[in-house]
Amino acid sequence: MPSLETVLPVPMVQADAEVRAALLEHGFDVVTEIDLAATFKMKLGVERPPLKILGACNAEFAYQAVLIDPSASLAIPCNVVLEAVAGATRVTVVDPHDLMTDVDLNELADEVATRLQAVIETMQRVR
């Protein structure tokens, strides 16, 4: 799936803090958190490297999207995935253009994508 992505050369705990700070800096709050690795272990007895989904939401953008098309709520929040990879953490953010395909949402999708790309660039600049 097309996405915005970067790899941070830090452990997951540190990357998690950096991701949250960058999201907040660009107007997003983390409204959900799913620890997939813990869920897989608890429900399936499967061990795997850390894998977490943060649900990022900018309330203003979300409100605008729902005003335009109430079914846009299916795409809220934007998923930000943190995955431990070889001593680093891959951070992948869903591309809003893939979630908001209605023509009436194009301008908003562009704005959200620009903001999320800025989140990625903020994390890369810290390096």
Predicted TM-score (pTM) of the model is 0.92
Domain count for the chain, please give it. 1
Q: Are 120 and 91 in contact (CB under 8 A)?
A: yes
* pLDDT computed for residue 26 by the predictor: 97
Q: How far apart are CA 30 and CA 80, in angstroms?
A: 9
CATH number of the CATH domain containing 59: 3.30.310.70
Q: What is the CA radius of gyration of the chain?
A: 15
Q: How far apart are CA 13 and CA 63, in angstroms?
A: 31
CA dihedral of residues 38, 124, 86, 96 (deg, nearest 10): 50
* pLDDT computed for residue 127 by the predictor: 62
- Cα–Cα distance list, 72 to 4, 7, 65, 81, 103 (Å): 20, 29, 6, 20, 12
* pLDDT computed for residue 1 by the predictor: 75
Convert 68-85 to b/e letters by CB count within 10 Å (16 or more is b): eeeebeebbbbbbbbbbe
Q: How far apart are CA 58 and CA 61, in angstroms?
A: 5
Structural domain containing residue 90: 3-126
pLDDT in tens, the chain (127 residues): 779 999 999 999 999 999 999 999 999 999 999 999 999 999 999 999 999 999 999 999 999 999 999 999 998 999 999 999 999 999 999 999 998 888 999 999 999 999 999 999 999 886 6
